[in-house]
Amino acid sequence: MTDSSEFRAGFVTFVGRPNVGKSTLTNALVGEKVAITSSKPQTTRRAIRGLVHREDGQLVIVDTPGMHRPRTLLGERLNSIVQDTLGEVDVIGLCIPANEKIGPGDRYINEQLDSFPRAKKVAIVTKIDASSRPGVAEQLRAVSELRDWDEIIPISSFDSIQLDILATELVKLMPVSHALYPDDAVTDESTESRVAELIREAALEGVMDELPHSIAVTIDDMIEREDKDLLEVFANIFVERDSQKGIIIGKGGERLQDVGARARSEIEKLVGKQIFLSLRVKVAKEWQRDSKQLGRLGF
Ligand SMILES: Nc1nc2c(ncn2[C@@H]2O[C@H](COP(=O)(O)OP(=O)(O)OP(=O)(O)O)[C@@H](O)[C@H]2O)c(=O)[nH]1
């Protein structure tokens, strides 16, 4: 018998087709921006952990890139991150949006979950704010037919509906354990890599569909100024082709200025002080297919 009053802690990851709301859900549960979100699919590249601290337990959320058939070396590396992650977690939450019919993409991912028998499996029906009550009910029924779930939970990150219930149920599925992280931590990503992700998110905003995969961000230096409360950040935005460089920079540098302003305001929220941000746009030809370059860009 397990005692329900015991503290529980463990790892959960949210999987699902691109754009189903996994990153938004992670941020909503953590209560702080740890995973970048974007209306462009497949913007999540790394296993970023968000932490949820509760009286009854602790959730370590591992945010994975989407599962898709690999077409480039980057695609292959992303898939292997996903495989490694899913093999280690205690709970896998398959996210399926309430406002779209279950399709082959959802079924493909659901079938992949059979390879990870250790993990408990929860279906999370996301974006219920974007559907009607009967629509949500119908989706819950359809989802229940996919497999024998440990839980099926409808939520909305936008309207904060049932997020607390989701966290409670996830904690209940975790093993009895002491806390895995100190209770003031929100993520174990370094500030530097969170800053790089915020810049990448700003650079992705408003670019055309073919560009997202071509953008990578590296940080050369972050310097705390001693004479004032200011953090200087020196970063590079890498693209694959000269033509893409033009798109990022924009006419007369206007777009890059926008990217800088957006990134700066997010980074200021993160570090709680003023930021000086230097952004340089560079071309790394075909970096997605080149293992040396991938290493240099942190993949
Ligand atoms: N209506 C509604 N839209 C949402 C909700 N959560 C996320 N979205 C939107 O759905 C889109 C995708 O959200 P993300 O959180 O980036 O999705 P993701 O599954 O992490 O996407 P990838 O990183 O591409 O795998 C964004 O435009 C969000 O604003 C929600 O609760 N309700």
Nearest alpha carbon to residue 278 among 201, 218, 194, 229: 218
Segment (H or E) for 51 = strand 48-53
Atom of ligand 1 nearest to the CA of 130: 1
Residue in the structure block whose two tokens are 């440990």 = 150
Question: Rounded CA gap, 34 and 57, in Å?
Answer: 20
Which parts of the chain fold into alpha helices (H)? Answer: 22-30, 73-88, 104-112, 133-144, 163-172, 191-204, 242-249, 254-271, 291-296
Length of the chain, in residues: 299
pLDDT band of residue 210 (cuts 50, 70, 90) is low
Q: Does the interface predicted TM-score (ipTM) exceed 0.90?
A: yes
Look up the CATH architecture of domain 8-172: 3-Layer(aba) Sandwich (3.40)
pLDDT per residue as tens digits for the range 95-142: 999 999 999 989 988 998 998 888 999 999 999 999 999 999 999 999
Is 22 annotated among the ligand-binding residues? yes
The predicted structure's pLDDT at residue 127: 98
**For ligand 1, atom 3, which residue shows the shortest CA distance?**
127
The predicted structure's pLDDT at residue 159: 95
Locate the domains of the chain by residue range. 8-172, 191-296
pLDDT per residue as tens digits for the range 275-292: 999 999 988 876 666 666
**For ligand 1, atom 26, which residue shows the shortest CA distance?**
39
Give me the residues paired with residue 63 across strands: 14, 48
What is the Cβ-side half-sphere exposure of residue 295, based on CA atoms within 13 angstroms?
2
pLDDT per residue as tens digits for the range 155-186: 999 999 999 999 999 999 999 988 877 766 66
Question: Rounded CA gap, 93 and 151, in Å?
Answer: 9
**CATH of region 191-296:** 3.30.300.20
Q: Is 234 helix (H, G, I), strand (E, B) or coil?
A: strand
Report the DSSP pairing between strands 8-15 and 57-63: parallel
